[in-house]
Structure 1
Amino acid sequence: MHARLTGNHMNVRTLCLAILNFGEATGYEIRKKTQEGVFSYFINASYGSIYPALTQLTKDGLVSCRPLMQSGRPNKKIYTLTEKGRQAFIEALQSPPGEDIFKSEFLMIMMCSDLVAPEKLSELIDARIKWLDDKVAYLRGVIEQVEADGVHFAVSCGIAAYESSARHLRENRHLVERSAGKALAGGKPSSSASSGETSCG
């Protein structure tokens, strides 16, 4: 009987198994992958949650750990996915995923554009477009280095999402720029309905 990962949806331990599915890694490397690169897009994992997850996975026999001796420096721990861990990960992949969570401080600012100075709003939009373009460039670099179809598919989905957002901003920025700052001078907020319930100003 295979060990089960707790919870109905994927968690930090599942993410660690996913990383190790592509090869052994140190705790530092696993932690870095959860904060940077393609694995950072899947599950929120704080720095402090990785090592407790690896400790529990080791206790459960889902990963193995061996020391790597280093001269003049602290020894490293190398984590490897065990067969038991591989089966647990496969089982987790068969479960329906949780809903994707999307939060955006940027969109909250855009929703209240009538309270943002015009020049500031334009700066924010320019910066966001550059950020999106940089994300696309980074992921295109990643996709050139992968061969697995699943990785290619996941990364290309990310590229499509970022490109779509950047295109939407370029094509529709005038909708918020024309209302920028109107409520600052006491004018009628551009987003207000007759009742005023949707106004930010």
Structure 2
Amino acid sequence: MSVRSLCLAILSFGDATGYEIRKEATEGRFCYFDDASFGSIYPALAKLTSDGLVTVQEEAQPGKPARKIYSITDAGREEFITTLCEPQAADTFKSPFLLVALYAEQVGPDVIHRAIERRKEQIRAELKHLTDHDDACPHKGSDWAQSYGIACMSFTLGYLETHGDELIRIAEGETTAPSSRAAAE
């Protein structure tokens, strides 16, 4: 999904400022779909506006510069739906934790133990975010998408809790690495 499509997705829920769009993209319900920074959001919004897919209104604020409020147009909704109907790219997954795990033998059991515990804390925080994020969503697929995310995170947490000790043993120099591939399948 492009930043352009992500902006249209967020605006399909209602009018928003660039700051609100970025907050939704980084901390809100859209943080699981793509990365978006201020440096990418504002050029995308400018292009969407010039293409007639988004409108912008300035709202005066006492003692501050006017804030820009963006709204999706009917043409913007049509383009967004058209984009959703195209074949999607493969999901991307990047994990600094897995890089540490790859080098378990070199970094040692203390580093691995801390990395596993830190990763479990991160996953628990993501699960809390997913389960606490229960605002009314007009899209019927929202509950399904939320449940899918919870299932993925729950499986990952369960895997670390069940197989984390195997990685620690590898870091300790155990010569025969336990095979946890079968458990994942």
What's the TM-score, normalizing by structure 2?
0.89
Map 1:16-95; keep pairs closer than 5 Å: 16-95=7-86
Q: Which moved more, 1:66-75 or 1:103-112?
A: 103-112
Counterparts of residues 165-180 of structure 1 (less than 5 Å): 165-180=156-171
Q: Report the count of equivalent residues.
A: 176
**In terms of Rg, which structure is larger?**
1
* Structure 2: segments with no counterpart, 5+ residues: 178-185
Between 1:105-114 and 1:49-58, the stretch displaced more is 105-114
2:182 match: none
CA distance in 1, matches of 2:149, 2:119: 16
For structure 1, which runs of at least 5 residues remain unmatched after alignment?
1-9, 183-187, 192-201
Instruction: Name the aligned partner's letter for residue 30 of structure 1.
Output: I
CA distance in structure 1 between the partners assigned to 2:73 and 2:168 by the alignment = 55
Secondary structure in structure 2 of the residue aligned to 1:37: coil
Deviating 4+ runs (over 6 angstroms): none
CA distance in 1, matches of 2:117, 2:44: 39
RMSD: 1.6
| Cα drift, residue 47 of structure 1 | 2.4
Percent of counterpart pairs with the same letter? 41
Is contact 1:115–1:181 with CA below 8 Å preserved after alignment?
no
TM normalised by structure 1 equals: 0.82
SS of residue paired to 2:58: strand
Q: Distance in 2 between matches of 1:38 and 1:90?
A: 18
Query: What's the CA shift for 1:46?
Result: 2.6
